[in-house]
Amino acid sequence: MNKLEDIVSLCKRRGFIFPGSDIYGGMAGTWDFGPLGVTLKKNLMDAWWKFFVEDRNDMYGIDAAILMNPRTWVASGHTATFADPLVECKECKSRFRADKIADGISESVTTEEFLATHTKCPVCGKENWGPIRKFNMMFSTHVGAVLPDDDQELMSKNIAYLRPETAQGIFTNYKNVVDTFYPNLPFGLAQQGKAFRNEISPRDFILRDRECSQMEIEYFVAPDTWEDNFEKMRTLQHDFLTNICGLHAENIHELEVPAEDRAHYSKRTIDFMFDYPNGKEELMGLAYRTDFDLANIARESGKSMEYRDKITGETFIPHVIEPSIGVERLFLAVLATAYTEEDIDGEKRTILKLPENLSPYKFCVSPLLKNKPELVEKAHEVYDKLKNKYTFVTWDDSGNIGKRYRKQDEIGTPKCVVVDFDTLSDDTVTVRDRDTTKQIRVKISDL
Ligand SMILES: [Zn+2]
């Protein structure tokens, strides 16, 4: 097994991530977070929120609706351009994203360019392709009382999309926030939430899924200050990824995205690439979106998006720096960094060396033996005390102590606390460290 398979297997075995709708045979491109996964995911999202919103004076939070007026997506350009190149094999009718099955071509590949790569169908091995067609990745639905046999006009009038990004929920609230909070420039609006993309071929575990969680900031700046603010945002992203999430700096690579590959709205984009177990993949993006979005909203809505400088009185549409990160991508980067196998006296030990602030549990408490009532009672006392103080504490009295340690190592619990017979006489416990396996005696009152 390669490392990604090991991680997928651990995620399922220990209750971090299960395949979506597993019981009915699954649902491609969806994943369910189990009890430990949801805690780790929440810890990541909370850490991001604290770092980028709560600890700063220039950030405001937003939580916009997932269903938005479809004019949003006309203004943003998604209706026209949020599409992947779809190609169909005429032999077996399989459909693929052209730029993912052929080397050296981009998302804007033409039929001629694709045919020139002489790619064989990954399913049947033949080379007989239809033309490249643009496939819009937005999920559509109908809002209100619409029946399947209603006429096309009524159907299309009531169409709505599951938002393909959280960003537009921020841009459409820019004016609301300016009119209610009168923030000074530069200021940022941050949002976390679900976004949906109908990927042609979801793959690579949670890296390319159809439903994901995003964490995005739109940082509004005076137009002539964008470069300076871009640099500041860039440094902040590295701080967050390494100091808060525990990623290693040498595994993060900045990729300056060339003009032809940039999203339609961006004048400069840096993709932060990460060394995932199966190769380099995008972890997050930092984009300079100019005034593209606010100017489009002004045009589509007929409302002014201008900002008036409080000192000079000058009015202009702010420009925007956007750091955008997918929670699942970050989740996998954190797991890949933490996942460690060690060989101890010929026996394999699997450890998740998660940073303490992210671990689902901070402590595991157990009695040395579960059939000694006096040990169990004392251990419960210690458990209650720690649970009150640290919240994220688990109890384990299954199997023998060695098995418990191995389980806690696998789910990343930094400290295991064991109550034994000495505890009854001197009120000390054994505290065992996940990374070093070293054990020390600590007074219960010092925990
Ligand atoms: Zn085929």
Residue 13, pLDDT score: 93
How much of the chain, in percent, has pLDDT values that exceed 90?
78
Report CA(363)–ligand 1 centroid distance (Å): 52
Q: What span, in angstroms and rounded, lies between the C-alpha atoms of 231 and 385?
A: 46
330 and 391 housed in the same domain:
no
In a domain, 317, yes or no: yes
199 and 319 housed in the same domain:
yes
Band (301; pLDDT cuts 50, 70, 90): very high
Q: Which domain holds residue 430?
A: 361-446
Report CA(87)–ligand 1 centroid distance (Å): 11
- Give the containing element (helix H, strand E) for 88: strand 83-88
52 and 195 housed in the same domain:
yes
What value does the mean pLDDT take over residues 219-244? 96
Q: What span, in angstroms and rounded, lies between the C-alpha atoms of 435 and 416?
A: 11
Q: Which of 10-14, 147-151, 340-344, 414-418 bottoms out in mean pLDDT, i.e. has the lowest?
A: 147-151
In a domain, 348, yes or no: no
In a domain, 417, yes or no: yes
Residue 311, pLDDT score: 87
Report CA(110)–ligand 1 centroid distance (Å): 19
Domain CATH for 404:
3.40.50.800
298 and 369 housed in the same domain:
no
In a domain, 153, yes or no: no
**Other beta carbons less than 10 A from residue 149's beta carbon:** 6
**Other beta carbons less than 10 A from residue 221's beta carbon:** 22
> Would you say residue 9 has pLDDT above 70?
yes
230 and 192 housed in the same domain:
yes
List for the chain the helix, strand, coil content (%; round to 5).
35, 30, 35
In a domain, 351, yes or no: no
Structure tokens that stand for 264 in this block: 């339609």
The angle subtended at Cα 80 by Cα 75 and Cα 83, nearest 5°, is 125
Number of domains in the chain: 2
Q: Are residues 355 and 335 in contact, defined by beta-carbon separation less than 8 angstroms? A: no
Report CA(420)–ligand 1 centroid distance (Å): 64
**Torsion angles phi and psi, residue 311, rounded to 5:** -95, -50
In a domain, 416, yes or no: yes
What value does the mean pLDDT take over residues 134-138? 90
Q: What span, in angstroms and rounded, lies between the C-alpha atoms of 290 and 318?
A: 8
Domain CATH for 271:
3.30.930.10
Report CA(8)–ligand 1 centroid distance (Å): 29
Report CA(107)–ligand 1 centroid distance (Å): 21
3-state secondary structure 93-147: CCEEEHHHHCCCCCCCCCHHHHHHCCCCCCCCCCCCECCCEEEECCCEEECCCCC
Q: Per-residue pLDDT tens for 60-113?
A: 999 999 999 999 998 888 888 888 899 999 999 999 999 889 988 888 889 999
384 and 237 housed in the same domain:
no
Mean pLDDT of the chain: 93
**Other beta carbons less than 10 A from residue 161's beta carbon:** 20
290 and 182 housed in the same domain:
yes
The angle subtended at Cα 397 by Cα 392 and Cα 401, nearest 5°, is 100
Q: What span, in angstroms and rounded, lies between the C-alpha atoms of 306 and 318?
A: 7
Which residues crowd ion ligand 1, with CB under 5 Å?
Answer: 89, 91-92, 94, 121, 123-124
Report CA(115)–ligand 1 centroid distance (Å): 14
216 and 317 housed in the same domain:
yes
Residue 103, pLDDT score: 86
321 and 367 housed in the same domain:
no
In a domain, 426, yes or no: yes
In a domain, 96, yes or no: no
Q: Radius of gyration of the chain from Cα atoms?
A: 26
Q: Do the strands 428-433 and 439-443 form a parallel or antiparallel pair, or are they unpaired?
A: antiparallel
Structure tokens that stand for 134 in this block: 């643009």
Q: Per-residue pLDDT tens for 247-296?
A: 999 999 999 988 877 777 788 999 999 999 989 999 999 999 999 999 99
Report CA(280)–ligand 1 centroid distance (Å): 28
Q: What span, in angstroms and rounded, lies between the C-alpha atoms of 323 and 188?
A: 11
| CA distances in angstroms from 215 to 99, 253, 283, 326, listed in the order given | 26, 20, 12, 6
Report CA(129)–ligand 1 centroid distance (Å): 8
The model carries a pTM of 0.91
> Would you say residue 1 has pLDDT above 60?
no
221 and 320 housed in the same domain:
yes
Report CA(95)–ligand 1 centroid distance (Å): 8
181 and 225 housed in the same domain:
yes
Report CA(249)–ligand 1 centroid distance (Å): 41
Report CA(6)–ligand 1 centroid distance (Å): 31
Q: Per-residue pLDDT tens for 348-405?
A: 899 999 999 999 999 999 999 989 999 999 999 999 999 999 999 999 998 889 999 9
Picking from 301, 335, 369, the residue at the C-terminal end of a domain is: 335
318 and 200 housed in the same domain:
yes
Q: Per-residue pLDDT tens for 309-325?
A: 888 899 999 999 999 99
DSSP state for residue 241 in the 8-state scheme: I
Report CA(24)–ligand 1 centroid distance (Å): 27
